[in-house]
Structure 1
Amino acid sequence: MPLYEHIFLARQDVTPQQVEAMVDQYKGVIEQNGGNVEKTEMWGVKSLAYRIKKNRKAHFTMFNLNAPAAAVAEMERQMRINEDILRFMTIKVDELETEPSVMMQKRDRDERKDRERRERDGGFEGGEGEEI
């Protein structure tokens, strides 16, 4: 079966629980049509480069799919109908990434830097020598 990377953007107004429900719904569509979702990454709320339907931010989610083209087409059709989906893009790839995507690696690196900074400053947010 062909391999795909699929990313969709959901409105910033929806809750993370609603985004998870959308993920489950679209996973179900893929599985009902003979495919499977190899990996799901929820990247969280990120700023958009420009407004899309009056939104400045969106919930980003990525799927790695191993599915027939008909299953992907049905999922995209349902996304077009859903008013909470701002944009989506599906790309056919030669092989799926098994390790975390660049977006998830960036988040881990940023969290590690913050943790190191807190440890260096003695767990004190204000920094050294700063009056409170």
Structure 2
Amino acid sequence: MSTYECVLIARQDISAAQAEALGETFAQIIRDNGGNVVKSEYWGLKTLAYKIKKNRKGHYIMLGLDSPPAAVAEMERNMSINEDVLRYLTVRVDALDATPSVMMQSRGERGERGERGGRRFDDRGPRPPRRSEPAPVSDEASA
């Protein structure tokens, strides 16, 4: 059997639970056709680079598959029929990585960075005075 990675983008209108259920639906199609889903990751609701079918955001789901090509073709056929799926991309890979993907690893980095040093607005000092009108021009400068 071949190994594949499939990433799909679901509409922003559905909930996160519905998006995960959608991923499970496609995983079940793979299982029914003799394949195996090695890993499944829900990456969350993310902003798209450009509008896709009038959507600005989408739920991203990644599936790591170990299945025959016929099972992947059936899954892709169902994805193209489903109105909740905006885009999908399936790529054949040499081996699947058992560790979490880069998208899942980036979620933990924010907590590891720590705080911004406890700075507050008041710590920067007083604001400079506002210029309400331009400075008057002296007679010497115009001569």
Fold match (TM-score > 0.5): yes
- Tell me if structure 1 keeps the 8 A contact 2:20–2:61: no
Q: What is the CA deviation profile of residues 10-59 of structure 1, one whole-angstrom value per residue up to 9, with x for unaligned ones?
A: 00110011112111211110000000110011110111111000001100
The residue number in structure 2 matching 1:8 is: 8
1:130 maps onto 2:122 in alignment: yes
Residues 46-96 of structure 1, C-alpha deviations (whole Å, 9 max, x = no match): 111110000011000101000000111111100101101000000000000
- Residue type of the alignment partner of 1:7: V
**1:130 aligns to what SS in structure 2?**
helix
- Alpha-carbon separation, structure 2, partners of 1:26 and 1:102: 22
* Structure 2 gaps, min length 5: 124-143
How many residue pairs are counted as aligned between the two chains?
Answer: 123
SS class of match (2:122)? coil
Contact kept, 8 Å, 2:3 with 2:66, in 1: the verdict is yes
TM-score by length of 2: 0.81
Percent identity between matched residues is 50
Q: Cα RMSD (Å) of the superposition? A: 1.5
Rg bigger for which structure?
Answer: 2
Residues 1:54 and 2:54 are matched in the alignment? yes
Give the ranges of 4+ consecutive aligned residues of structure 1 lying more than 3 Å apart after TM superposition: 127-131
> Which residue number in structure 2 is paired with residue 67 of structure 1?
67
State the partner residue of 2:88.
88
